[in-house]
Structure 1
């Protein structure tokens, strides 16, 4: 069976070219979104020919599929930080939102690509559902644990988790992608600690409240 260049990547130069194409693609996607991005856009940003792109990926969709696989495990590992034992309720809330923020900060182009492709492609819809299921499952467990302590007893744990993940997704996307194509410049000026604290405050107050209005 023959091995394609995409599987082989035999030379340092080949790996460097693919890295340049990936970096260029991330830049363009963060600025324009995956649906509006063309292979010609990516090649131009990378300073390479369009033919170079096809040495490494069969299509724009194939590139995003590889991205999705690469960062899915990374997102899972980050999300598990909030599940470690010995954390206070506030620390657990902070860890959960910090993991979400850091994933968006480091993998914005991948997230934009998969979430946008999910609107037009069933396979990517499944990828996106799986990616979102990780924090939803974690937060559902957190809510159930909080309810055993007497917090938010009248809430549906899974619905709370879905609402919080939706909020986290939208906040991270809006802050880090910026508006009107200002992706790179917007992200550079963001105060990560302030954003994480804001999210953690909302997260904590949502889960760790008692029905009589008193907080822990």
Structure 2
């Protein structure tokens, strides 16, 4: 192997930490899943200029002939990219969905993981490797994961009343929780309702 070929091979395997892989857990999956390099939907094949590996399988996908680096790489069990462009991520996820990857593991920089999570969840795919914020859930079109604050306060009140027998200690603790909730509501613009919290 020439020095240039060895250098290129090393660059291909270590160039990008931004990657999507199928999650190893297969609970609830009924369709077979593919990790075959080159197993791509025709729409993705038609969109890119392709460099093939030594066996003739599509491996590197370029946006145009002037771009020195591929938009993404297909390594069979792993799809990688150097840059977190939303359209590239969407195409990588189309490949993952085409291959039957319903549960994904994402690695890489925060921007990449966030974009993958938003796009994948909007497509109905599960993702490990990123903890979404509330606005990420909204961007993916998902409902809020938390119960409304009032409901959480009612639950906290019931727990405090059942675990702490001293009424004075209950009152102090519930006052502290209510004050914290009021500060939170002030930041988010919600109406305060300390009186409702102390009822029951």
**Same fold, TM-score > 0.5, yes or no:** no
Which structure's CA Rg is the greater one? 2
More strand by share: 2
Could you state the TM-score of these two structures normalised by the residue count of structure 1? 0.27
Relative contact order, higher structure (CA 8 A, sep 6+): 1
Could you state the TM-score of these two structures normalised by the residue count of structure 2? 0.28
More helix by share: 1
